[in-house]
């Protein structure tokens, strides 16, 4: 059948199983939006800003495992997607961003709202396309989805010229080509299994690749067979139930005491889907000193990039675990587990539960409706949430890890809701909310029930904490002299606002917030007053080793 380019795009999206698109229309995508309207199969969520659309597509992708989709017009519409695309790129999130551009006769003439969005996004996409011929459009869309969702997942951009959207050509529906991972090299697996069998004190480090490959169940099975404790990176949160006796919590700069102790004591590190970022391998040269390091990752570029390994394997983690579990011997490491249990007891005894944020997040974790998704912005509140909000299954946690994007939260929470149909719990700060509060309007207009826990300490908390430690308490530009009434702000946008004063019982207020959000199908913002000098602890200073973990703040 003969269709216009805009119609072909919508049909190809439907082919790929797309049910929701996040975006903002404009002149260069009017034909796409018209085709979307006339087709009627795909729900479009109109955000308040294109960056919010990109973050929503990202949140949708993280909770579903499907490829998220966002639309934007040319020029500033396209450039407003850039931060969201970069966020997805750094965290290996599958996303397809569709932008419009001027017609081919106006290309390269500095036409109104013309921008070379492909040139801009080359460093932050797996691939990008500019479609100048309608005959190429369908196959380009299909390629984009395959690239986004295969191997190490990530964002792909398709820039469609205006003339392509209105031109006609024959369209033939096609079934999406499934991604089949390459076979796992058997000889390498045997070497890895032999090294694992020979070790006495293994430690599994699980990163975001475990979530991306849907390998959480296999990871747990593998850990149990080995008698091996598991620590996870920020992006790996949810890959093992935090209630699991083998789980030691998060590793890294603000990881648990138990995770740090286990790292120091282990003789072998088995690393799945983690790139050893500077927030995990703080001192790359000494991070794994004296240990055997085994790294499995889908991306060859990540092997040996940050930490030198003894055995490495480029392979899909799910396929690797399927093959590796039968090869390794049943663990006989009871002495190691007894030692690790001691680390957990020490962790429980020293857990920093004195901060107001701890009591708030703990209450939210215990009171949240079943299936709720935890979403965070970036800063102290992000680390408090990662430390204290219990996550017992994969794809229930959305946070910007690699790029550290302030302003990620509300958009991502909206996307998480449309992907899961479960209430999102957003933990944010008064610095971050200033960058993304406009998307509360989107949540209201689409009746998204969410609870926003705004950690209101009147400062840029994480930056201030670093100033306290490294800059002799010179608090330059980190005090927020804002006079915003956040309760009224939420109400002015059509949502519900509540205040949680420092003397209030968090459980009572948060329980009411969940009840209101569900009953009214609206976002409920809780303005949580917390002291400006509460800190995220434990902490390891950049470039230091895990034996230098701070359990209390040092005065400089």
Please give the full DSSP string across 77-111, using - where no structure is assigned: HHHTTHHHHHHHHHTT--EEEEEEE--GGGTTTT-
Judge contact between 354 and 248, C-beta under 8 A.
no
Is 353 in a helix, a strand, or coil?
A: coil
491 is catalytic: no
Using H for helix, E for strand and C for coil, what is the string for 52-79? HHHHHHHHHHHHHCCCEEEEECCCHHHH
Is 379 in a helix, a strand, or coil?
A: coil
200 is catalytic: no
List residues bridging with 170 in a β-sheet: 2
Q: Which residues of 33-51 are buried (b: 16+ CB within 10 A; e: fewer)?
A: bbbbeeeeeeebbebbbbb
Query: Could you tell me which of 7, 153, 87 has the C-alpha nearest to residue 402?
Result: 87
Query: Could you tell me which of 534, 417, 514 has the C-alpha nearest to residue 464?
Result: 534
Catalytic pick among 235, 450, 455, 462:
462
List residues bridging with 314 in a β-sheet: 297
DSSP letter for 554, please.
P
465 is catalytic: no
- Determine the Cα–Cα distance for residues 140 and 127; give it in Å rounded to an integer: 11
422 is catalytic: no
List residues bridging with 397 in a β-sheet: 374
- Determine the Cα–Cα distance for residues 367 and 507; give it in Å rounded to an integer: 8
* Strand segments (E) across 123-267: 127-131, 155-161, 168-170, 202-206, 230-232, 247-250
Query: Could you tell me which of 130, 194, 191 has the C-alpha nearest to residue 157?
Result: 130
Catalytic pick among 112, 332, 488, 520:
112
The CA-atom distances, in angstroms, between 554 and each of 257, 260, 261, 470 are 17, 19, 21, 10
Judge contact between 115 and 128, C-beta under 8 A.
no
Catalytic pick among 106, 113, 350, 475:
113
Judge contact between 389 and 363, C-beta under 8 A.
no
Catalytic pick among 126, 153, 162, 201:
162
- Determine the Cα–Cα distance for residues 101 and 118; give it in Å rounded to an integer: 11
- Determine the Cα–Cα distance for residues 444 and 524; give it in Å rounded to an integer: 10
Catalytic pick among 50, 114, 302, 516:
50
462 is catalytic: yes
Known catalytic residues?
50, 112-113, 162, 462
């Amino acid at each position: 059948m003969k269709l216009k380019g805009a119609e072909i795009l919508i049909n190809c999206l439907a082919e790929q199983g797309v049910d929701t698109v996040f975006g903002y229309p404009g002149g260069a995508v009017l034909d796409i939006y018209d085709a979307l309207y006339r087709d009627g199969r795909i729900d479009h969520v109109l955000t308040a800003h294109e960056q919010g659309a990109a973050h929503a597509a990202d949140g949708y992708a993280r909770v579903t495992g499907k490829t998220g989709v966002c639309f934007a017009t040319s020029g500033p519409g396209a450039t407003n997607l850039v931060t969201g695309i970069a966020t997805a790129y750094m965290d290996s999130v599958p996303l397809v961003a569709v932008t419009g551009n001027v017609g081919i006769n106006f290309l390269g003439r500095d036409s109104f709202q013309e921008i070379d969005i492909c040139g801009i996004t080359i460093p932050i996409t797996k691939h990008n396309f500019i479609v100048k011929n309608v005959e190429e459009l369908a196959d380009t869309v299909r390629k984009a989805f395959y690239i986004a969702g295969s191997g190490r997942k990530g964002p792909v951009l398709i820039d469609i010229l205006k003339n392509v959207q209105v031109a006609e050509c024959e369209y033939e529906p096609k079934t999406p080509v499934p991604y089949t991972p390459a076979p796992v090299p058997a000889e390498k697996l045997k070497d890895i299994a032999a090294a694992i069998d020979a070790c006495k004190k293994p430690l599994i480090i699980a990163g975001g690749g475990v979530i991306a490959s849907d390998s959480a169940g296999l990871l747990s099975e593998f850990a149990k067979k080995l008698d091996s404790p598991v620590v996870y990176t920020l992006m790996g949160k949810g890959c093992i139930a935090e209630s699991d006796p083998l789980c030691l919590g998060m590793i890294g700069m603000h990881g648990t005491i138990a995770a740090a102790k286990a790292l120091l004591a282990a003789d072998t590190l088995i690393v799945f889907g983690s790139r050893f970022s500077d927030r995990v391998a703080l001192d790359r040269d000494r991070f794994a000193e004296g240990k055997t390091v085994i790294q499995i990752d889908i991306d060859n570029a990540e092997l040996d990039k940050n930490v030198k390994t003894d055995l490495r394997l480029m392979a899909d983690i799910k396929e690797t675990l399927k093959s590796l579990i039968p090869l390794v011997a049943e663990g006989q490491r009871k002495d190691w587990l007894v030692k690790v249990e001691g680390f957990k007891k020490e962790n429980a005894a020293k857990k920093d539960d004195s901060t107001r944020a701890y009591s708030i997040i703990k209450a939210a974790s215990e009171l949240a409706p079943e299936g709720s998704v935890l979403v965070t912005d970036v800063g102290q509140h992000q680390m408090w949430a990662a430390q204290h909000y219990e996550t017992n299954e994969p794809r229930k946690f959305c946070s910007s890890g690699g790029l550290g994007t302030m302003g990620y939260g509300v958009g991502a929470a909206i996307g998480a809701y449309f992907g899961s149909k479960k209430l999102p719990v957003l933990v944010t700060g008064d610095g971050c909310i200033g960058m993304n509060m406009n998307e509360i309007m989107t949540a209201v207009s689409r009746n998204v029930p969410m609870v926003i826990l705004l950690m209101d300490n009147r400062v840029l908390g994480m930056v201030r904490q670093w100033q306290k430690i490294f800059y002799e308490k010179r608090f330059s530009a980190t005090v927020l002299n804002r006079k915003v009434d956040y309760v009224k702000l939420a109400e002015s946008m059509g949502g519900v606002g509540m205040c949680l004063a420092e003397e209030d019982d968090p459980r009572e207020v948060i329980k009411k917030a969940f009840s209101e959000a569900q009953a009214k199908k609206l976002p409920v913002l809780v303005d949580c007053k917390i002291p400006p000098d509460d800190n995220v602890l434990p902490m390891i200073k950049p470039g230091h080793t895990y034996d230098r973990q701070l359990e209390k703040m040092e005065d400089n």
